[in-house]
Each structure stands twice: as C-alpha cells, then as structure tokens.
Homo-oligomer: A and B are copies of this chain.
C-alpha cells in the first residue's frame, strides 16, 4: 500500500494523499446516508452505513486511504456518559465529570463495548481495494477528558484548566482511565483490520507548553509506544492541533506527525522532518479556490520533496467546499508528485 509505505519512508510512485473529515458533509452521497440514519450517533453505531460513508471518498475523490467513520466521543459514551448532539452547538454531556467521585461511575470495559466500530472496520477492509489503506483512530486522552469535564463546547476551557491548576491529581486519574481504554480500543481496531492508526488531539492548543507536555503529550506517547511495541508494522500518526510553538519538545516512538495548517511546513520539517514522516498541511479554506489549492500543493511539494511526506489538509474539510475542488486537490497531488 502506497500510504503505508509512505508512513515508513519507503519509496512510493507518488506522494499519497487523504483529507481529514473526507467522509463528511461536503459529499452529497454522505448527506444521503446521514439523512437515512436520522442522526449522527445512529450513523456511527450502524456498521453497514458507517462502512458505506467510510468508503465513499475513496471511490468519489480517489484518496489513497480511507479513514474509519466514527466519532472520538464514542469512548466517553461507552464509558457510560450520556451523549447528545445539539444542532448548532455540537456534542453535549449533560452529566459531566467534575469531582473525584464522578470517576467511579466510568466503565473500564468501554473498548469491549465498541463492537460496532470493529464491525465497521471488518466490512470496510473487506470491500476496500487491497492497495488502499484503512486508518483507524481515537481522540487523544486530553481532548476526550476536556469534553468529559466541560460537558459542552467552550471558548476558555476554564473548568478543565481550573482543575489542572488546582486538582492535578484528579485530572491525571481521569487521564489514566481514558488512556487505558484507548490502548485496548486501538488494539481491537488493529485486530479488526485497520492498517494504521491516528491519534487526534483536537484541543492540544488549549494548554500552555509545560501543561501540554504533562497532561497530553505524555499520554499520547504512552499510547503510541504501547501500540508500536505490540504492532511494529502498524504506523502510528500523531495529530496534536495547534502546537507549532512547542515542536522543540516533541519526541516519542511513532511514525508520522500530522502538521496542522497553523504550523508552517518548513518549520515542521526543520524541527521534526529527520525523525518523523510529516502529514499535511494545506489550509482547508484553500479548497474554495483551485488557484489557491495549486499554489499550496506546489509550495508543499517544493518544501517536502525528498523528505517523508503524506499530503493532507491541515484540519478537516469544510462542508461548503465543492466536491470538484476536493477532487482537483487529490488529482493534483498525484500529478505533481509522480516520479
């Protein structure tokens, strides 16, 4: 698989490309399945429909890897937290974690309960072309506990951060519980058939550097090392969004570092390019314009030529991007990088 070869810095005929949120609302075919499902969580929990939308971007856009369709919040959900999605507001936990006593009500067997995810993986891997990779994923412990503690979207993260500065031991206890679930969850994804795994730390930029290293990166590294020790042939991709100013302290046993669009690729190459394959990082809004897309693809190719690189966006694709432009991006990457 070209994607897996690129993760391990092996020669490939061209640079592989996929897009975060590629199975998403910009695709009419996705919207059709989503409507059939009724609501988002039902779609996540229905292996047949989840498999269908996972496969769509491979067929329609021509990306080199599929990424499992699911949501990072299925972990807290299966740890026992009631989850609902409110239109215009996003995910809400009505009974968030706030005290040490709340930790006792979380289930440790969440990975065993996520059977619908593994079933989705089996269906996708069965139907996906043999030269295309299937990427599994999880939210990072820090991002998950932020949702679990705040309970809903926040601009300031002041509830979870107040705990970090006043009750750090409680935050670490919750991180420990979630980290253990994640390890088992990724193992089961791999056993079900994913070819690589990505850890999304969407709220990485909510923490100052010393606290980021202590409350997030340390746990991500632990998970990566655990997976690499057991499955050395499975690439591990780390995606901490928005920590371009912390790159001097990034290390650990993983294969690919996902670069968000706020981190200049030249800076990432300088700081990490000799140790990790870099994935990214076109600004998703460039997909509004073919000209802006071409300008960026050419610039990234120039910077990353001869280095370990996987093309991607620097964050998820937006719902109002024309499908035609997404396809243009993928085709252009293949064309420009072909040896």
Contacts and interface: CB of A to CB of B under 8 A. Distances in A.
The contact size tier of chain A is 20 to 34
Interface in A144-165: 156-158, 161-162, 164-165
A297 B69 CA distance: 45
A170 interface: no
A227 to B, nearest CB: 28
A205 interface: yes
A245 interface: yes
A253 B244 CA distance: 26
Nearest to A245: B244
Contacts of A157: 285
Contacts of A261: 208
Interface stretch (A12-20, A44-52, A262-270, A326-334): A262-270
A156 to B, nearest CB: 6
Interface string A250-274: 0000000000011110010000000
A1 interface: no
Contact of A320 (B158, B286, B289): B158
A288 to B, nearest CB: 5
A262 B244 CA distance: 9
Given A208-B262, A209-B264, A158 B318 contact: yes
Contacts of A314: 208
Number of identical protomers:
2
A165 B263 contact: no
A166 B264 contact: no
A237 B164 CA distance: 31
Contacts of A286: 165
A285 B165 CA distance: 7
Given A285-B161, A285-B164, A262 B320 contact: no
A82 interface: no
B162 A288 contact: yes
A281 to B, nearest CB: 9
A315 to B, nearest CB: 9
Contacts of A40: none
A335 to B, nearest CB: 21
Given A264-B209, A320-B158, A165 B288 contact: yes
A267 B245 contact: yes
A205 B261 CA distance: 10
A212 to B, nearest CB: 9
Task: From A209, A244, A262, A285, name the one whose CB has the most chain B CB atoms within 10 angstroms.
Answer: A285
Nearest to A314: B208
B320 A285 contact: no
30 contacts: A157-B285, A158-B318, A158-B320, A161-B285, A161-B288, A162-B285, A162-B288, A164-B285, A165-B285, A165-B286, A165-B288, A165-B292, A166-B288, A166-B289, A205-B262, A208-B261, A208-B262, A208-B264, A208-B283, A208-B314, A209-B264, A211-B283, A244-B244, A244-B245, A245-B245, A245-B247, A245-B263, A245-B264, A245-B267, A248-B267
Q: What 5 A-B pairs come out closest when comparing CB atoms?
A: A244-B245, A161-B285, A165-B292, A208-B283, A165-B289
